[in-house]
Amino acid sequence: MLTLGGACVYAASTAGRFAPIAIVTGALAVGLLALGLVLRWPSMIPWTIILAGAGYLTAREGKDLVDGWAVVEGVALLLAAELASWSIEHDARIRTEPALAVRRALTLTALCLGALLVNVMLLGTAGVAASAGVLVAAVGVAAAVTAVAVVLRLVRA
Amino acid sequence: MTRYATAKLASYAGISAVGLLTALVTARPELVAVTAPFLLALGAGLALATPPRLSVEVTLDAPRALEGDEVGARVTLSSTTPVDRLDIYVRLPDGVTLADGRNPVALHLAAGQERELELTLLAQRWGGHVIGPTYLRARDPLGLLTWETTAETRPELRTYPREDVLQRVLQAADTQVFAGNEVARTKGEGIEFADIRPWGAGDALKRVNWRASARRGDLWVNESHPERNTDVILFVDSFAEARLGAEGTLDLAARATSALADAYVRRRDRVGLIAFGGILRWLVPGTGLVQLYRIVDSLLDTQIVLSYYWKEIDVIPRRTLPPNALVLALSPLLDPRSVGALIDLRARGHDLAVIDVSPVPFTKRPASGLDSIAYDIWTLRRDALRHRLRSTGVAVVEWDNQLPLQAVLEEVRAFRRYARHARG
């Protein structure tokens, strides 16, 4: 909740005149996450992330410059989602070996570091000046669709 | 193993799709950066997910135990593929609890690694308890997919009832023809002096009573009672029981039956068993330790099975109820079918004694109102039923769980002595 709250606070602080909207969406996201954690509903997690993302999108409205902190914002949202999943999955009746918790923490750290690296590369690529056009947009759509298709293929495998 | 996608997988796929499409529509590269970690988690998680190839075996240190004993159980796990997180849960049946060990437990298994989990089980209640099934749930490193299966090995723990040691048991009215510890009423070759009679051709010299012969001026010989065995049929009513928490009338009856079988077998009597209930079980009378184990094993499988089928004693095989056998019934007298069968047995001339395993201690009297009146009527009707059985010559004694079995047997013995005297 703290991680998600931090991400939402950052979005609200950079929102300018859209700050009230960013604050409301951020508060809603944190509230939903709290509800999901209390009621142990994992289906709440994606909605909180989408709400927090929407708040961040609102905050970026009207700004032409690419935000470098988006690298951290994305990783923070992933971290919030992972920690929330961990909290909801945790069952006190199952006695977990301590090594297992350490292992999961290490996996999560590695994932966040990997995501940070990928994000830095992505935003670095976005910073390269290139002419926009229909062709570039088409390539972007194709890339997005391919990414989702790859994920679906992996799920079925 | 059955594979399932977790809610997390659908969530991350949804977030990725929404994020990427929104980034395209709004032309904001920051949104790609916000979405990319989720896409990376999905890709990495699914690429790292390997279907586990697990083998599980559950074994018990001892397949038999007495009530209250602790038994070690071992869950041996091995996998040819790495399993990041494996949840294991060994389901324990009623009557068996975990005394020590971790269940359920989550652990990690490396490829080719073998692990052994040790559990200490407490056999709380008699019966044949099947340990398991053992449920296994494996997860990939990022928790996107799970695989679930159950172990095929389900060992059985046979828990024998703890029994009282009986100093004295009920004697049958008549003995059988085989040698045993019971002094027969008839006269023959034996140790116990019975009477004297005039000498006859074929009588052994050692049996001549010289003192009586000298006094009467003729040869007189001693007669004795032979030592014979008896046939005892233990009749367990398993039509219905009263239960409060972990204890019930069937538990008391099973423990008492086990103790009685042990005592009679030690006397070299032939002991048989009839479990009269939803499922009819019987054992023809036999002697020896093997018969004792047969009886106790058969008792373990005795349970209350709901049945509306009206059974009479005709369904019991004839060999199971030999003539002159003492039928010792343990019944809570709750089901009219078992009561009818007992009265029928008595009417056919069997030597019958009934230990009424009282259901009253296993019930609570309602505080007030119609329920309390109904409860009182029920207890009065039980008294009337016992009186009805007594009036047919059956020794009936109520046994609540406070009294030792020996005391109850002595009460039955006293009734039988009085009844015999009254008949004579």
Give yes or no for a contact between B396 and B390, defined as CB atoms under 8 angstroms apart.
yes
What is the distance in angstroms between the Cα of A133 and the nearest Cα belonging to chain B?
Answer: 12
pLDDT exceeds cutoff 50 at B320: yes
* B54-160: CATH architecture: Sandwich (2.60)
What is the distance in angstroms between the Cα of A50 and the nearest Cα belonging to chain B?
Answer: 7
Residue B106 banded pLDDT, cuts 50, 70, 90: very high
Percent of chain B with pLDDT over 70: 97
Question: Would the pTM count as exceeding 0.95?
Answer: no
Mean pLDDT of B71-100: 92
Give yes or no for a contact between A12 and A26, defined as CB atoms under 8 angstroms apart.
yes
Residue B146: what pLDDT? 92
B contacts of A144 (beta carbons < 8 Å)? 20-21, 23-24
ipTM: 0.86
Mean pLDDT of B142-159: 89
Residue A133: what pLDDT? 66
Class of domain B231-423: alpha beta
Residue B324: what pLDDT? 85
Mutate to test the interface with B, among A51, A148, A152, A153 (most CBs of B within 10 A): A148
What is the distance in angstroms between the Cα of A36 and the nearest Cα belonging to chain B?
Answer: 13
Mean pLDDT of B349-355: 92
Question: What φ, ψ does residue B48 adopt, rounded to 5°?
Answer: -85, -15
Tens-digit pLDDT profile for chain A (157 aa)? 888 889 888 888 887 788 888 889 999 999 999 999 999 998 899 999 999 999 988 888 878 777 888 889 999 999 999 999 999 988 888 988 888 999 999 999 999 999 999 888 888 877 665 555 666 667 767 777 777 777 666 666 5
Residue B306: what pLDDT? 65
Helices (H), B230-275: 249-266
Contact B16 A151 (CB under 8 A): yes
Mean pLDDT of B275-297: 89
| Residue of A28, A97, A83, A153 whose CA lies nearest to B43 | A153
| Residue of A79, A148, A98 whose CA lies nearest to B18 | A148
Residue A17: what pLDDT? 82
Q: Would you put residue B369 in left (φ > 0), alpha (ψ -120 to 50) or beta?
A: left
pLDDT in tens, B190-217: 888 999 999 999 888 888 999 999 999 9
Lowest mean pLDDT among A81-95, B169-183, B198-212, B341-355: B169-183
Residue B309: what pLDDT? 67
Between positions 125 and 164 of B, the ones with CB within 8 A of A are: 141-143
Contact A75 B37 (CB under 8 A): yes
CA atoms within 13 A on the CB side of A33: 28
Mean pLDDT of B233-253: 89
Q: Write the residue in A43, A103, A148 that is nearest to B17 by C-beta.
A: A148
| Residue of B41, B233, B252 whose CA lies nearest to B126 | B252
Residue B424: what pLDDT? 43
pLDDT in tens, B213-223: 999 999 999 99
Among all residues of chain B, which has the CA nearest to that of A74? B34
Residue B302: what pLDDT? 78
All structural domains of chain B with their residue ranges: 2-48, 54-160, 187-225, 231-423
Please give the Cα distance from B123 to B125 (Å, whole number): 6
Residue A130: what pLDDT? 55
Give yes or no for a contact between B54 and B79, defined as CB atoms under 8 angstroms apart.
yes
Q: Write the residue in B6, B11, B32 that is nearest to A46 by C-beta.
A: B11
Q: Write the residue in B7, B13, B37 that is nearest to A43 by C-beta.
A: B7
Among all residues of chain A, which has the CA nearest to that of B101? A95
